[in-house]
Structure 1
Amino acid sequence: MVGGVIQVLGELLITVGLILILFVVWQLWWTNLESDKAQADAVDQMKQNFRDSGSLDDSGKGPEDPIIGEAPAHGQGIGIMYIPRFGEAYERPVIQGTGRDVLDTLGVGHYESTAMPGDIGNFAVAGHRQTNGKVFDQIDKLVTGDRIYVRTAQGYYTYVFRNNEIVLPSQTDVIAPVPGYPGEEPQDRIMTLTSCNPRFGSTERIIAYAVFEGWQPNSAGPPPPIADLVGKDQ
């Protein structure tokens, strides 16, 4: 009798172990495959939309005086993010919203209450590290001075990475117009990247800050560091 119970318990533990292994494989492998395909399709669609929209009137607009696009509806595309530090082939869609419908499939999500690319204030985004495309897997590898590029229908916005910090999930003031100082009037153009920390956990958040460096219209072509990736067929 006792031996039979032990055998049943042993079989149950083996079954549970197999289920957990399959779950981990699904999380760390299959969700990335699915998300990579969805994100690549979204990038291709945005590039097509940019071509179809043609060049905007950018007369009188200089590198420090960017055109600011209007925020789209939830789930709609804002632009494409390029971070050379994350690899020469890194290009990910930036989508409006930070719900699971965006982050679990479409990549980088834009906090809807924050600034648009190039605007004064805080252009804040979120992304996963190890699952669902792991768009910010290497966020901890950014080095001061690294460039982050965001391409929209208006043009290319360049930000320069400044520093990162680790905070608790409750510290939402990191996406305030002036990060860390809610209620203060912004004077600068900031980008904030947020993701889970540690790499295989979510008890903390890792925050990366970058400052605006400049802007150029699509008609000027991409900045040299990402020209090959953007391609001649922009």
Structure 2
Amino acid sequence: MELTISLLLLAFVFHATLFTSFQFRAAQSNAYDQLRTELAKAETPTGPLNTDENLVVAGSPVALLQAPSIGLSVTVLEGSSSEVLRSGAGHRRDTVMPGQPGTTVILGRQLTYGGPFGSLKDLQPGDEITVTTGQGVSVYRVFGLRRAGDPLPEALQSGQGRLELMTADGLALFPSGVLHVDAELITKTNKAAAQVIAYSALPAGEKAMGQDQGAWFIAFFWGVFFVLAGVTVAWLWRNWGKWHAWVVGIPVLLALGVTTADAVMNALPNLL
């Protein structure tokens, strides 16, 4: 049993710190290629609805966000659920698209799945953030970082644009809250698109530190299989001998451990 638990913990650490980064890079490569193609064809969504007047599919690439001062370049996807944030930064669907009048909110993970927003804390007032969308290139200037309890920025004036970046704050995997980066639009505003989703209508899993409660059932399901595999390996150890058990059992336990870890990661808060 001690070996089983150790392998599970090892699989979780390996998955969270290494394997998720590989997943993120592959997903980002595909998303960037799709975004570049759609920008060239003028097919990138510029609002919550596509050309067929249906909601843009969650996970669709909508922008490229770059912050040169911290070496950040990430493709932004539509939606902000834990599943979407495995593949990139996520545009919160109740807010305007970057470059449009109003406040755009983009969420990203601090550590896991590439941790694209892990360096947000290093941004300084005056740093510029560039966002490329189907409406062109918009430039924002950072004017503040804030945490829970800090005063909110002044209300936007009519026609102004703002960008708010959000990620987990504090120790990695043990967040103390949410870090907000506020930036003002310093280029001209683009034409606004009609908003059809209110913040109150967003699923809880798409808000900051949101969780997909249904994902815990899947994690439990895989956890049961992992425990059963551990019991089987223990039986083999006693009846076949330790070397046979190692050869047969360790690959199976590692595979199930990574799968279980992946399911757990999907159930944890979306900004980790």
- 2:183 counterpart (210, 214, 230): 210
Is there any run of 5+ residues in structure 1 with no aligned partner, and where? Answer: 1-11, 55-67, 218-234
- Percent of aligned positions that are identical: 23
- The Cα of 1:15 is off from its aligned counterpart by 3.4
TM-score (norm: length of structure 1): 0.69
- 1:156 counterpart (131, 137, 142): 137
The match for 1:4 is: none
* 3-state SS of 2:187 partner: strand
Q: Deviations over 1:102-149 (max 9, x none)?
A: 112x21111111121122221001000100121101010101111111
Q: Deviations over 1:31-78 (max 9, x none)?
A: 111111101211121111112239xxxxxxxxxxxxx93234133221
How many equivalent pairs are there? 180
The match for 1:25 is: 14
- 1:146 counterpart (110, 127, 143): 127
The match for 1:103 is: 85
1:38-49 alignment runs, 5 A limit: 38-49=27-38
- The Cα of 1:189 is off from its aligned counterpart by 1.1
Query: Aligned pair 1:93/2:75, yes or no?
Result: yes
1:76-225 alignment runs, 5 A limit: 76-87=60-71, 90-104=72-86, 106-167=87-148, 187=158, 188-200=160-172, 201-215=174-188
Output the CA distance in 1 between the equivalents of 2:124 and 2:25: 25
TM-score (norm: length of structure 2): 0.60
Give the counterpart letter for 1:75 in structure 2: G
Query: Aligned pair 1:35/2:24, yes or no?
Result: yes
| Contact 2:78 2:92 (C-alpha < 8 Å) held by counterparts | yes
Q: Whose helix proportion is higher, 1 or 2? A: 2
- The Cα of 1:180 is off from its aligned counterpart by 6.5
* 3-state SS of 2:17 partner: helix
| Contact 1:85 1:146 (C-alpha < 8 Å) held by counterparts | yes
| Contact 1:137 1:199 (C-alpha < 8 Å) held by counterparts | no
- The Cα of 1:20 is off from its aligned counterpart by 0.8
The match for 2:47 is: 70
RMSD between aligned alpha carbons? 2.6
Is there any run of 5+ residues in structure 2 with no aligned partner, and where? Answer: 50-55, 191-272
- The Cα of 1:14 is off from its aligned counterpart by 4.3
